[in-house]
Structure 1
Amino acid sequence: MLKSLTPKDLDGGVNLLDIGCSGAPDEKWRPIRRLVNYIGFDPNQAECERLDAEPREFLSTRHLPYALAGEDGERELFKTKSIYCYSLLEPKHEWLERFSYADLFEVEGTIPVTVKAMSNVAELAAFDADVVKVDSQGLDMEILRNGRDIVSRAFYVETEPGFVEHYRGENTFCQVAGLMGELGYLLFGLTLCGVPRKGPFAKRKGKTQVMWGQNVWLKDYVALEAEGRAGTLTRAKALKALLLCAVEGVPDFGYELAVCFRGKGLLSGQELESLSSESAWNLSE
């Protein structure tokens, strides 16, 4: 059932927002790439034009030259030695200097950039996001909180907050987890990332202090429905939720949602039965 879904079944496809879109999209999206409408954000206009020119197999692709933050305005972007450490927040050097990757955060200058709150991006007015991925170098909470109306309608949210402050004023995992809980999301993915300290063990492989994590949050429609907070659920939204459970590899949660959706008349009995085997959730080509 899930492998045969078309954009028409999904009300035009799965809508994915990629905030901080440097690098290639994650390979996990490959099995459903022809169902995905992709919008990426990068504050560099030239980079957006370059990315738009690259061949992609998504249903549609667009890159917007905005830096997202908590509110509209002008901010300074800290340009660091590594482009992947650029941030609207200043690196916390006295902390970072203790670790082997401190040089990546060395500030080489600042540039003024125009920033927008997610909710105020005109191009998103008609884009009902199903997936929101945030890789913002310390601004996850600020972006999510001020894009709450968009995030609350999504099913799948990916964040990458630190467990400690790498930047001054950085939002940490505990803050992000609190907001996601308020919005009815559950944690389904937690990839922990650590870095060794400077010194004779700087290149040692093994256990180090956990510095940040890559997190996946899925909306708990079962609990929200019981609380009367699920909002208006359509068949297309239900199918997209099930498809995204397959992408994340969580058929147990997907089937629980399917039972809930069947109770609301969004799935047929035959469709529910077809989802009772693990193979039904395998999207591999």
Structure 2
Amino acid sequence: MLSNLTVADLDGGINFVDIGCSGDLDKKWEPVSGLINYVGFDPNEEECRRLNAEPSSFNSRLFVPFAVHDGKEHSLYKTHSIYCYSLLEPNMPWLDRFAYNNLFQVEGTEQVQTHRLDDVDAIKPINVDVIKVDSQGLDKRILENGQRLVDQALYIEAEPGFTENYVGEDTFTDVDVFLRNRGLRLFDLELFRSARNNPLGKVSPKQQLMWCQGVWLHDLVAPSVVFQPLTRAKALKALLICAIGDFLDYGYELAAFFHGKGLIDDNEFKSLSEKKTWEL
């Protein structure tokens, strides 16, 4: 069932918003790339033009040259590693205690105009299904300024830190509390550690947790969660996303919920009790 879904079945496809996009998507999305309508945000206008001109395996793809935050002008801190660029200043007294501190050394600044996620014209008509955000410390504030999209999203992926690696950073706790209050629940967590800047840093059996990659899914079954509009297409996307993330037990719980609402039929529901139905 799930492996045979088409763009038409999904009311145009899976609408995927990637904030702070860099590199390719995780391989787990490859089996459904042809169903994805991808919108990526990167403040580099020249890079967006280049990426928009490249061929793509997605159903559709658009790169938008915006820095996403609160709609105000901010300083962009250009660090030694482009992957550590942030609108927040690196917290060097803290980072200097760790072996990867050189990646965060500021080599220049630039004033940039930011845009609220809910105000971006390119995504106003879109009913968003997936949000991925990697903002180097601003995940919660970006999502707060995109609550319309958060309330539509079935799946949100973020990379918050456990400590203030940037001055005033939104930590994991901040992000998790915000998303729980919007009806999303933590489903997966990949942990990242860093060695301290001393002779035992690289050989220490355990190093300090520094940041993570978390996945939150909307708890559509919870009676306190009001998720509208809940259509057959949105239900099928939710099941497909559970298959992509290997959240099969939640997927089956959703299937029972959707079946009760008449969004999937008896045969579809019966097939979803078998693990092979979830293989893409």
TM range (shorter): over 0.9
Q: Distance in 2 between matches of 1:190 and 1:275?
A: 26
Q: Distance in 2 between matches of 1:205 and 1:127?
A: 48
Q: Distance in 2 between matches of 1:230 and 1:185?
A: 11
1:57 offset after TM fit, Å? Answer: 0.4
Are 1:237 and 2:210 an aligned pair?
no
| Aligned counterpart, 2:273 | 276
Give secondary structure in 1 for the equivalent of 2:192.
strand
Pairs within 5 Å for 1:189-208: 189-204=188-203, 206-208=205-207
Q: Deviations over 1:48-92 (max 9, x none)?
A: 1122223220101110000001x2121110000000000000000
Q: Distance in 1 between matches of 2:226 and 2:272?
A: 26
Structure 2 counterpart of 1:62, one-letter code: L
Structure 1 counterpart of 2:57, one-letter code: E
1:188 offset after TM fit, Å? Answer: 1.0
1:177 offset after TM fit, Å? Answer: 0.6
Give secondary structure in 2 for the equivalent of 1:152.
helix
- Deviating above 3 A after TM superposition, structure 1's stretches of 4 or more consecutive aligned residues are none
1:35 offset after TM fit, Å? Answer: 0.2
1:205 offset after TM fit, Å? Answer: 6.5
Q: Distance in 1 between matches of 2:275 and 2:261?
A: 23
Pairs within 5 Å for 1:1-285: 1-69=1-69, 71-204=70-203, 206-223=205-222, 226-227=223-224, 229-283=226-280
Structure 1 counterpart of 2:247, one-letter code: V
Q: Distance in 1 between matches of 2:238 and 2:122?
A: 24
Percent identical pairs in the alignment equals 51
Q: Deviations over 1:225-265 (max 9, x none)?
A: x2362332100000000000000001100000000001111
Q: Distance in 2 between matches of 1:54 and 1:89?
A: 31
Give secondary structure in 2 for the equivalent of 1:252.
helix
Q: Distance in 2 between matches of 1:84 and 1:206?
A: 27
Q: Distance in 1 between matches of 2:113 and 2:142?
A: 14
Query: In the alignment, is the contact (CA less than 8 A) between 2:219 and 2:225 conserved in 1?
Result: no
Give secondary structure in 1 for the equivalent of 2:152.
coil
1:128 offset after TM fit, Å? Answer: 1.2
Structure 1 counterpart of 2:17, one-letter code: L
Q: Distance in 2 between matches of 1:103 and 1:178?
A: 31
Q: Distance in 2 between matches of 1:198 and 1:46?
A: 37
Taking structure 2 as the reference length, the TM-score comes to 0.98
Query: In the alignment, is the contact (CA less than 8 A) between 2:193 and 2:209 conserved in 1?
Result: yes
Q: Residues 57 and 228 from structure 1, CA distance in 2 versus in 1: closer, same or farther, beyond 3 angstroms?
A: closer
Query: In the alignment, is the contact (CA less than 8 A) between 2:67 and 2:114 conserved in 1?
Result: yes
* Aligned-CA RMSD value: 1.0
Q: Residues 220 and 52 from structure 1, CA distance in 2 versus in 1: closer, same or farther, beyond 3 angstroms?
A: same
Q: Deviations over 1:153-179 (max 9, x none)?
A: 110000100000011110001111101
Give unmatched runs, 5+ long, in structure 2. none
Q: Distance in 2 between matches of 1:244 and 1:58?
A: 16
Taking structure 1 as the reference length, the TM-score comes to 0.96
Aligned length: 280
Query: In the alignment, is the contact (CA less than 8 A) between 2:117 and 2:145 conserved in 1?
Result: yes
Q: Residues 126 and 75 from structure 1, CA distance in 2 versus in 1: closer, same or farther, beyond 3 angstroms?
A: same
Q: Residues 205 and 65 from structure 1, CA distance in 2 versus in 1: closer, same or farther, beyond 3 angstroms?
A: farther
Q: Distance in 1 between matches of 2:171 and 2:225?
A: 30
Q: Distance in 2 between matches of 1:81 and 1:165?
A: 19
